[in-house]
Amino acid sequence: MPEAQVDPLYKLRHSLAHVLAQAVTKLWPGTLITIGPPIETGCYYDFLFPQPISDADFGAIEKEMRKIINQGQTFRRDELSVTDAKKFWRERHQKFKVELIEDLEKNEKVETVTHYANIGPKGDETFVDLCRGGHVESFKEIPADCFKVMSLAGAYWRGDEKREQLMRVYLAAFPSKQELDAHLNMLEEAKRRDHRKVGKELDLFTFSDLVGSGLPLWTPRGTILRNQLDAFVWSLREAKGYMKVTIPHITKKELYETSGHWQKFSNELFRITTREGHEFAMKPMNCPHHTQIYACQKRSYRDLPQRYAETTTCYRDEQTGELHGLSRVRGFTQDDAHVFCRQIHVKQEILNIWEIVDTFYNAVGFGALKVRLSLSDPKAPEKYLGTPEMWNRAEGALREIALERKADFFESPGEAAFYGPKVDFITKDSIGREWQVATIQLDINMPERFDLSCVNEEGKDERIVMIHAAIMGSLERFLSIYIEHTFGLFPLWMAPTQIGLVPIADTHAAYAQKLEADLKAQGLRTQYFSHDESLGKRIRDGEKQKIPYLLVMGDKEIEAASVTVRNVKTKKQVTVPVSEFIEKTLSDVETRKLELSIG
């Protein structure tokens, strides 16, 4: 793409990656440079430093970058033959650049590559990088206060743990200081809401070194939260005709060889070898197992659609350095479902799933969802199973449904699963971050690989199609997003503890205990705060636990058969009859009301 057509923000961030690399190589001579792409919030660059660096060096890097920018340097584009380019980088002892050029020569059959040189005010060459372009015309276009060095992270060269351990320097970069400041403020708020911190404070989950990294353990409170969400998803699915199934957690490798997952994800599988020498794997996904439930008997067209649903744990051998709280784990629970149907059913089945997605995300308090149509990359057909004709038909069907739904959608080539295109739903959380959540995948390949069919009206075998549907997807990842979105202030219907009972003194305990028994009999989740501590401390403890309602009871409440209700969100208190409180609370739970209606 000509540089004039490149997005200005991409140009800014790409240019700053070059400035970052120039500053680093000036401050630490002998540093080996690798790659420095723009990313969503700025850019990063991976280096092999000759000595350790730390966040104490960030100020020096920023100072040197501003010095380079203030010089008003420009870029010069040079085109070199592959031979000359390799010679150029070998002479500078930059082995990673040589390797990149060799890969381009081998995989893309290029005969030339481009270099971009930073040119100083006197026409001197201050830095050179192997690059395809997309930069500002002059460094004067870059505001000197629009970026900030953010963090360091380890990164293996080419993502291969057997290769060199590099140091990745992250840079935040925005068109203006105001936008940068807004981003930094958002990051501070994100730290405050970090699900690992909030989850510990609310006693939702824990990790154990004896159990292993990336394997979360859910406490009673956290399990209530998971179960409430999962039960809601199941109620929506049950209404659409889904049936629950159950599968084992391990499988013979042949199942995944047939599905194509073994070849595609073999490095991510936990493998088990039996005493007899048979090779098994811990299941990383459920869809191949579900195909075997469908295939266990001959199906007539009258039996379709078959809709299977299951919430079950899967396992993937993620690298230790990539694990992060609940958002990246080795054991994760999927609310998974698969529909086996004919082509004539596809549209209605996807519309049904879409309706479930909308209902669920409205009920948990996310706003309107954007939709990404994740399509195949026409330039890399070798990455996908099936023929171009099959892909065109499947992608066209999803596009037609998105248009009919009048969805806010965009197309993203290259984001499809290897077995079919997807509808990915994207939400924005309360501090403005976007997350991909639910997904619907139209699978045109697995029925072919497992020879799944039905007997049609003419008595002939007809190839069926398969639809994958995840509403929360990984419950762990969804809850990492949701805990931060709500800051642990969960809606009443799903809160682990819905009501806290706070008698003012010993003389009010019997009244409070009788009320607690009545609330529990109605299926409400309660916690009794004994009068051993001061009233103020008990209220503060209830608020720290983010219990939606705290009921304070003293002489006046007993006399009037009432409770003083303290709303955790508003901190307001209002006194209402017990009967009214129970009626409103049960109604709010049943209707999954988002906001507390009392106080």
Per-residue b/e over 2-25, b at no fewer than 16 CB within 10 Å?
eeeeeeeeebbbbbbbbbbbbbbb
336 is catalytic: yes
By three-state DSSP, how is residue 330 classified?
Answer: coil
CB neighbours (10 Å) of residue 405? 16
Catalytic residue (choose from 338, 477, 508, 538)? 338
Catalytic residue (choose from 135, 237, 307, 468)? 468
Catalytic residue (choose from 43, 131, 146, 287)? 287
573 is catalytic: no
Rounded (5°) CA angle 16-115-164:
70
Euclidean distance between CA atoms 548 and 542, whole angstroms: 9
Euclidean distance between CA atoms 98 and 94, whole angstroms: 7
Euclidean distance between CA atoms 294 and 13, whole angstroms: 50
Euclidean distance between CA atoms 546 and 571, whole angstroms: 11
Euclidean distance between CA atoms 232 and 591, whole angstroms: 11
Euclidean distance between CA atoms 27 and 24, whole angstroms: 5
Catalytic residue (choose from 422, 508, 566, 592)? 422
Catalytic residue (choose from 46, 129, 335, 336)? 336
287 is catalytic: yes
Catalytic residue (choose from 73, 94, 334, 498)? 334
Euclidean distance between CA atoms 161 and 404, whole angstroms: 46
334 is catalytic: yes
Euclidean distance between CA atoms 418 and 197, whole angstroms: 36
Measured in degrees and rounded to the nearest 5, phi and psi for residue 156 equal -75, 140
By three-state DSSP, how is residue 517 classified?
Answer: helix
Largest CA distance in the chain: 93
Catalytic residue (choose from 316, 330, 372, 508)? 316
338 is catalytic: yes
Euclidean distance between CA atoms 537 and 535, whole angstroms: 6
Q: What are the residues whose beta carbons fall under 8 Å from the beta carbon of 99, sequence distance 6 or more? A: none
Rg (CA), the chain: 29
Closest CA to 338 of 441, 235, 250: 441
Could you tell me the sign of the dihedral formed by the alpha carbons of 324, 330, 331, 334, in that order?
A: positive
Active-site residue numbers?
Answer: 287, 316, 334, 336, 338, 422, 468
